[in-house]
């Protein structure tokens, strides 16, 4: 929709002088700002913007995508302390959104206008705005950068992400009967003979700041499509979509190396195959991998700190840790608190730690580190939340695989 410029009031000489003085007081002029609205409230998926996909909170994924696209400034508009902390750590500046535009009925446009006003009040003006939605976990940075270039080169006033589709669309009429929308139901041409359509993904919108202020809408003037791969188009509005997104992350984003400063592992199901042999006296024996032992030795020689963190009370855990010459905390019910304390005592940022787990009692620890890792045969919930899923099973070289990927970084 084109902006109605005819409704603008004539500018007086006093207004021009005031605008000029304001421009002279601007301390920073950045051409492009990425604005990511991220409320704390969410009904369908509680705490949605901090849910992890590929081991990374959604709001952090959006910030990283904007940074990788090369925008001048990334801003997160939020009313939530946790979101603000995560976004700041990812490289964003925080604009605190007031309660009146933070409710369920608040529009994204209101958050963007508020953010632009707040930035201008601090002496910063922007020609181009990139509006990103954190609920789209797979924002292609190259497509976002290209969309910014389209607006900067004056080939468009607004650009949005969409993917090409040849789908047959239908709707129901008042009686519930199906009506064809984008095709003739009586004619079924081959795909190569059909005209493609583009489905908006909601991942990002890029537009001129001035035109947005005038129209108060993300579409105005000359609008172009930024075509993105279909697999990136998922938007997370419910738990099922969150699970699908996590599966897609494991399929498309598995990194070859794991750049961390420390490694923490569970014991049963990680160093072992999660089975135990019990003798007549009730003693337990477990099976471990010599290959894993060599991997731990390589990690130790490289000077990378390691910890075994286990809820198991059996002395076999400490015996194995002593054999490997690594510290161990076992009989631990609260793994998250124990891990936080160990990291603080060793001056290690949680973001620089890999945690290797296999079962649901590992989830609290996995959720606080930068690199949650799962063995190949881990519980489905662990697989969903892992940033990396190893190819090897627990007790069958999984620790060695993790070590090699850490050392390769």
DSSP 321-367: HHHHT--EEES-S-HHHHHHHHHHHTT--GGGEEEEE-SGGGHHHHT
pLDDT at 137: 97
The DSSP code sequence of 270-285 is TTB-S--EE-TTS-EE
pLDDT at 12: 43
pLDDT at 21: 41
- Within 8 A by CB and 6+ apart from 64, the residues are 56, 90, 91
pLDDT at 314: 85
DSSP strands (E only) in 85-168: 93-96, 124-125, 128-132, 158-165
DSSP class of 196: P
d(CA 359, CA 226): 41
- Within 8 A by CB and 6+ apart from 15, the residues are none
Name the stretches of the chain with pLDDT < 50: 1-29
pLDDT at 254: 79
Write down the residue that tokens 């992400």 correspond to.
161
Q: What is the CA radius of gyration of the chain?
A: 26
- Domains, the chain: 5-14+25-252 (3.90.550.10), 262-407 (3.40.50.1000)
DSSP strands (E only) in 219-272: 223-227, 262-265
d(CA 17, CA 14): 5
What is the SS3 assignment for 10? coil
Q: For residue 14, what are its two tokens?
A: 């006093």
**Quick count: other Cβ atoms within 10 Å of Cβ 59?**
28
d(CA 209, CA 158): 10
């Amino acid at each position: 929709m084109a902006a109605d410029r005819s409704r603008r009031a004539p500018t007086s000489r006093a207004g021009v002088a005031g605008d000029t003085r304001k421009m002279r007081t601007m301390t920073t002029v950045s051409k492009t700002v990425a604005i990511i609205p991220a409320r704390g409230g969410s009904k369908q998926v509680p705490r949605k913007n901090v849910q992890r996909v590929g081991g990374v909170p959604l709001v952090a994924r959006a910030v990283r995508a904007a940074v990788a696209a090369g925008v001048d400034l990334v801003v997160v508009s939020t009313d939530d302390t946790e979101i603000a902390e995560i976004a700041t750590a990812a490289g964003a500046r925080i604009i605190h959104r007031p309660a009146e535009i933070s409710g369920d009925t608040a529009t994204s446009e209101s958050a963007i206008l508020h953010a632009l006003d707040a930035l201008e009040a601090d002496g910063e003006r922007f020609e181009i705005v990139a509006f990103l939605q954190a609920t789209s976990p797979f924002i292609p940075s190259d497509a976002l950068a290209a969309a910014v270039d389209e607006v900067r080169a004056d080939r468009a006033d607004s650009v949005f992400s969409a993917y090409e589709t040849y789908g047959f669309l239908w709707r129901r009429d008042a009686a519930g009967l199906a009506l064809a929308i984008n095709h003739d139901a009586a004619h079924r041409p081959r795909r190569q003979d059909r005209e493609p359509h583009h489905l908006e993904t909601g991942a990002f919108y890029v537009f001129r700041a001035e035109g947005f202020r005038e129209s108060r809408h993300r579409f105005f003037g000359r609008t172009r499509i930024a075509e993105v791969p279909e697999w990136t188009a998922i938007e997370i509005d419910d738990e099922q979509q969150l699970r699908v997104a996590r599966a897609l992350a494991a399929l498309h984003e598995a990194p070859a190396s794991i750049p961390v400063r420390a490694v923490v592992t569970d014991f049963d199901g990680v160093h072992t195959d999660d089975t135990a042999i019990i003798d007549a006296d009730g003693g337990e024996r477990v099976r471990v991998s010599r290959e894993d032992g060599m991997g731990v030795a390589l990690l130790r020689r490289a000077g990378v700190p390691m910890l075994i963190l286990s809820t198991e009370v059996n002395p076999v855990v400490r015996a194995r840790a002593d054999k490997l010459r690594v510290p161990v905390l076992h009989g631990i019910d609260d793994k998250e608190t124990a891990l936080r304390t160990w990291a603080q005592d060793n001056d290690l940022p949680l973001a620089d730690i890999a945690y290797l787990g296999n079962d649901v009692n590992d989830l609290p620890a996995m959720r606080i580190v930068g690199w949650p890792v799962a063995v190949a045969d881990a519980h489905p919930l662990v697989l969903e939340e892992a940033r990396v899923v190893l190819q090897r099973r627990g007790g069958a070289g999984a620790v060695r695989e993790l070590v090699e990927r850490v050392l390769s970084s």
